[in-house]
Amino acid sequence: MNSNLLIETNRLLIRPFTLNDIETSYLMNLDEEVSRFTGDGGVVSRKETERRIKEDVFGDYKKHGFGRMAVTLKSDNSFIGFSGLKFLENLKKVDLGYRLTKPHWGRGFATEAGWASLVYGFEKLKLQEIIAMVLPKNVKSIHVLNKLGFAHQSDFHQEHELVQVYQLSQEKYNSMNELFRVRINT
């Protein structure tokens, strides 16, 4: 992934993670409400947060050329979470994911960051389909996916929990009006 990549929306800057994001990522995940529906084990140590960024996120950048990215506010460059695409090896599909700090919930940031990730995926990466996986109890995330044009595709059980798969095709994306202005600088 190009370390100079910057996705700019009306209110957000979305950029590749750096080692400087370890502490803020760790603090975000300490909030049990933020971690409740994540499916990645919830609150983890600083050391595990560092490992996940260094190995998983940076590994995705190196192997696939894209991955989850840090989301910051344009107004003060403060870290508010992440959004982005991840190639799921087991499904051979690209997944949209997002997570925000609780003070930034309910303000449209997840939709704005999610849309920017879709623009990047469909227009720069030329993907034909993007999926998103969500627990049925996570109604706020499902609402975001619906606003982004995703449709429920299927269900499966993972570790005794029902997971719903939502899908957005390139064709459906192309038919949608642009939700937010997005500029991608490389």
Alpha carbon distance 114, 84 (integer Å): 7
Q: Is residue 44, in this structure, part of any structural domain at all?
A: yes
Looking at the structure of the chain, the number of domains it has is: 1
Q: Is the dihedral of CA 98, 102, 106, 108 positive or negative?
A: negative
Q: Which helix (H) or strand (E) holds 72?
A: strand 68-73
- For residue 154, the model assigns a pLDDT of 95
**Amino acid occupying residue 117:** S
The pairing of beta strand 79-88 with beta strand 129-134: unpaired
* 3-class DSSP string for 89-136: CCCCEEEEEEEECHHHCCCCHHHHHHHHHHHHHHHHCCCCEEEEEECC
Looking at residue 168, its pLDDT comes to 98
Q: Where are the alpha helices (DSSP H) in 108-169?
A: 109-119, 139-147
CATH of the domain at 98: 3.40.630.30
pLDDT digits (tens, 9 = 90+) for 47-95: 999 999 999 999 999 999 999 999 999 999 999 999 999 999 999 999 9
Q: Which of 59, 121, 70 is nearest to 94 (CA)?
A: 121
71 is in which domain, residue-wise?
6-181
Question: Where is 34: in which H helix or E strand?
Answer: helix 32-35
Specify if 186 maps to a domain: no
User: Within a domain: residue 98?
Assistant: yes
Residue 168 CA to its chain's centroid (Å): 15
Q: Is residue 106 part of a domain?
A: yes
Does residue 1 lie in a domain region?
no
> What is the tally of helices (H) and strands (E) in the chain?
7, 9
Average pLDDT over every residue of 24-45: 76
Q: Which two tokens stand for residue 93?
A: 């599909």
Higher pLDDT, 178 or 51: 51
Q: Does the residue 109 lie in any domain? A: yes
- Cα gap 83→57, rounded to integer Å: 12
% of residues, the chain, pLDDT over 70:
96
Is residue 142 assigned to a domain? yes
Give the C-alpha separation, 119 to 158, whole Å: 29
Task: Answer for the pair 149, 176: CB distance below 8 angstroms, yes or no.
Answer: yes
User: Which token pair is 146?
Assistant: 């619906």
What is the DSSP secondary structure assignment for residue 20, as one 8-state letter? Answer: G
> What pLDDT sits at residue 75?
96
